[in-house]
């Protein structure tokens, strides 16, 4: 098969108008033409090791690290990390995050009041269920709260990105789980264990009310065993599939019997074990698990079988390899060849097992490695819809009016939720239990984010944010202030340095000097060739920011930013 350049792929997607395009990549003839038909094994890839990176520490390395570990790059974060070493920067990102305040009532209006008495701006997570109407409002509140956390997180931490990683790994849909309290508690399990112990996290998820509902664990009884969760525990959450020798169907059936009896309460949203519903027979496993027998137990002791099952699963090295591969594809690159398997995956899997299934040491080793910082490991992602939309707010430091109540704040987050959904990713609503296909489906992986529907919509989002913005029913236009970011730069009057500044922050790959000069002349210099056409305009604006001078500078900056954000490289991470 002939190779297709990345630029060809993006440009063909741009060529079709969004309102004329199909919405599913698999039914998109342009996507089918240009997407990977096989893994790109012919491309140059890093052979860097897990040895600690000792190369240069410039803005390019800092931006690469921030792009992969947070949703978008804030210039303030780049400046702050310049004063640190690479090791210190990664240590800070992997530090514990302050527990955020919970989601609140944003839905009370002049004609609707929370039936459980929760006031506007107060949290509902400790309130009773109420009814289906308020529950629907709360489900939306929870998702919008998380989007707000992604944008306005107060610390430089990997936590939001890792929480999303686990959300995709232990995928649940709010439309199936149904209860807002369950979704919030499930989210907090992911958040609180984001950098903790993988085995502990799997144990918690196995007994989690949201997962019990989502995969029918609460329907699993000795008279009617339900294999749904047991199968996903093996195939999606711990061991994976498609290797030999492997566990058997009988192993899954035996596991389903072990898991009988788990139920949940809607009074305090906890899970509990019902011994009367538990299958008490001995459970025989295959040679993959060394023919282990988990002895059936009666009474409350039956709950111990679940822990024994997880102990048995986590005795297998395949679990470590499976989750490390998934972390690698999320933070580095989707194609794992034999060299990467032997020099990165296997050592990290061994590290995970030797530390008792701790996640943080694995990420610490990976994110500080030569392999991660190699230039061939950079700019090879297509940004997810969250990285694209949330990243726009973070990079351009779009602030909401001070003093706004949660009803207006959450309207903004809800608008972004809806827009991300149009781009193919709505938090808390993955397509199924496997998560979003872009994270696991060969051979196109991240290419699934881009098709002839989503690519034009990405550009439309940037056009909107650079011009009219959106109000989402708040009465206030939410949009990019192009001067705000420029003012933060140390030399905005120099058009060459200013373009360097923007391209570093906004583009996954740098531009040639020829292209930079082209954009400089056509936008900042308005067709002239001398740099002072911009320098003088900026100086005049700074000394006298009246409407005329402001509009001159604003028009040129919007023109430049439109050109840059329409480039294919703006979609790379």
Inter-residue contact 211 to 199 (CB < 8 Å): no
Does any domain span residue 421?
A: no
Position 556 pLDDT exceeds 90: yes
Inter-residue contact 235 to 260 (CB < 8 Å): no
Q: Please report which confidence band the pLDDT of residue 21 belongs to, taking 50, 70 and 90 as the band edges.
A: very low
Across the range 50-74, mean pLDDT stands at 97
Regarding predicted confidence, which is higher, 17 or 228?
A: 228
Q: Please report which confidence band the pLDDT of residue 6 belongs to, taking 50, 70 and 90 as the band edges.
A: low
Does any domain span residue 540?
A: yes
Q: For 377-471, where are the alpha helices, taking DSSP H only?
A: 385-395, 406-422, 454-466
Across the range 327-355, mean pLDDT stands at 97
Position 7 pLDDT exceeds 70: no
Q: What is the CA radius of gyration of the chain?
A: 25
Q: Please report which confidence band the pLDDT of residue 375 belongs to, taking 50, 70 and 90 as the band edges.
A: very high
Across the range 35-52, mean pLDDT stands at 80
Burial class of residue 354 (count of CB atoms within 10 Å of its CB; 0-12, 13-18, 19+): exposed
Please, what's the b/e burial string for 27-54 (b: 16 or more CB within 10 A of its CB; e: otherwise)?
ebebbeebbbeeebeeeebbebebeebe
Across the chain, mean pLDDT equals 94
Does any domain span residue 406?
A: no
Position 18 pLDDT exceeds 70: no
Does any domain span residue 509?
A: yes
Q: Residue 43 and residue 38: Cα distance in Å, rounded?
A: 12
CA nearest to 509, candidates 346, 382, 379: 379
Count of C-beta atoms within a 10 Å radius of residue 533: 17
> How confident is the model over 483-542, as pLDDT tens digits?
999 999 999 999 999 999 999 999 977 899 999 999 999 999 999 999 999 999 999 999
Position 4 pLDDT exceeds 90: no
Domain count, the chain: 1
> How confident is the model over 95-117, as pLDDT tens digits?
999 999 999 999 999 999 999 99
Does any domain span residue 379?
A: no
Tell me what pLDDT residue 24 has: 46
Q: Please report which confidence band the pLDDT of residue 13 belongs to, taking 50, 70 and 90 as the band edges.
A: low
For the chain, how many residues are written? 573
User: Coil, strand or helix: which one is 52?
Assistant: strand
Query: CA dihedral in degrees (325, 51, 573, 321; nearest 10)?
Result: 0
CA nearest to 401, candidates 486, 469, 497, 478: 478
Inter-residue contact 451 to 9 (CB < 8 Å): no
Cross-strand bridge partners of residue 294: 283
Across the range 134-152, mean pLDDT stands at 98
Does any domain span residue 519?
A: yes
Regarding predicted confidence, which is higher, 48 or 441?
A: 441
> How confident is the model over 256-282, as pLDDT tens digits?
999 999 999 999 999 999 999 999 999
Q: Which domain holds residue 495?
A: 482-571
Does any domain span residue 529?
A: yes
Q: Please report which confidence band the pLDDT of residue 15 belongs to, taking 50, 70 and 90 as the band edges.
A: low
> How confident is the model over 277-315, as pLDDT tens digits?
999 999 999 999 999 999 999 999 999 999 999 999 999
Report pTM: 0.94
Tell me what pLDDT residue 23 has: 45
Query: CA dihedral in degrees (127, 128, 132, 137; nearest 10)?
Result: 0
Please, what is the Cα angle at 381 between 375 and 387, to 5 degrees? 120
* Sign (positive or negative) of CA dihedral 101, 106, 110, 115: negative
Q: Residue 44 and residue 66: Cα distance in Å, rounded?
A: 23
Tell me what pLDDT residue 26 has: 55
């Amino acid at each position: 098969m002939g190779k297709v350049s990345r630029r060809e792929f993006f440009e063909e997607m741009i060529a079709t108008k969004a309102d004329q395009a199909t919405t599913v990549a698999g039914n998109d003839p342009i996507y089918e033409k240009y997407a990977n038909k096989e893994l790109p094994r012919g491309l140059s890839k890093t052979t860097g090791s897990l040895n600690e990176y000792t190369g240069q520490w410039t803005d390019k390395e800092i931006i690469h690290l921030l792009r992969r570990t947070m949703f978008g790059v804030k210039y303030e974060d780049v400046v702050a990390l310049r004063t640190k070493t690479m090791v210190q920067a990664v240590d800070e990102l992997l530090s514990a995050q302050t527990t955020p305040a919970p989601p609140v009532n944003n839905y009370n209006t002049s004609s609707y009041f929370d039936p459980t008495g929760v006031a506007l701006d107060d949290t509902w997570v400790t309130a009773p269920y109420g009814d289906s109407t308020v529950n629907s409002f709360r489900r939306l509140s929870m998702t919008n709260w998380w989007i707000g956390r992604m944008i306005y997180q107060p610390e430089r931490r990997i936590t939001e990105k890792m929480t999303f990683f686990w959300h995709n790994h232990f995928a649940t849909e709010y439309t199936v789980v149904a209860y807002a309290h369950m979704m919030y508690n499930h989210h907090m399990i992911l958040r609180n264990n984001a950098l903790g112990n993988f085995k502990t996290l799997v144990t918690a998820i196995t007994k989690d009310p949201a997962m019990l509902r989502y995969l029918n664990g609460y329907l699993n009884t000795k008279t009617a065993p339900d294999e749904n969760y047991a199968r996903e525990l093996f195939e999606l959450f711990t061991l994976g599939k498609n290797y030999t020798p492997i566990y058997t169907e009988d192993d899954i059936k035996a596991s389903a019997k072990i898991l009988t009896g788990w139920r949940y309460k809607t009074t305090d949203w906890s899970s509990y074990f019902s011994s009367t519903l538990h299958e008490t027979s001995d459970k025989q496993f295959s040679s993959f698990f060394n023919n282990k027998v988990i002895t059936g137990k009666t009474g409350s002791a039956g709950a111990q079988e679940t822990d024994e099952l997880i102990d048995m699963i986590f005795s297998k090295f395949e679990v470590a390899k499976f989750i490390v591969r998934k972390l690698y594809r999320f933070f580095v690159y989707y194609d794992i060849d034999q060299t990467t398997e032997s020099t990165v995956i296997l050592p990290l899997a061994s590290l995970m097992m030797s530390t008792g299934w701790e996640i943080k040491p694995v990420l610490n080793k990976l994110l500080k490695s030569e392999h991660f910082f190699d230039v061939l490991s950079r700019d090879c992602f297509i940004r997810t819809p969250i990285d694209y939309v949330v990243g726009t707010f973070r990079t351009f430091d779009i602030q909401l009016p001070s003093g706004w109540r949660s009803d207006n704040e959450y309207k903004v987050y809800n608008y972004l939720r809806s827009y991300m959904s149009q781009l193919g990713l709505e938090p808390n609503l993955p397509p199924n239990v496997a998560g979003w296909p872009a994270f696991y489906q060969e051979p196109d992986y991240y290419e699934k984010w881009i098709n002839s529907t989503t690519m034009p919509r990405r550009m439309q989002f940037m056009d909107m944010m650079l011009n009219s913005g959106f109000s989402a029913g708040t009465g206030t236009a939410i949009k990019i202030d192009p001067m705000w970011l420029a003012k933060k730069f140390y030399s905005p009057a120099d058009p060459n340095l200013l373009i360097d500044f923007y391209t570093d922050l906004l583009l996954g790959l740098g531009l040639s000097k020829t292209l930079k000069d082209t954009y400089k002349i056509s936008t900042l210099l308005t067709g002239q060739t001398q740099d002072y056409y911009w320098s003088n305009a900026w100086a005049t604006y700074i000394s006298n920011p009246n409407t005329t001078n402001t509009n001159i500078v604003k028009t040129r900056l919007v023109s430049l930013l439109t050109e840059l954000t329409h480039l294919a490289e703006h979609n790379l991470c």
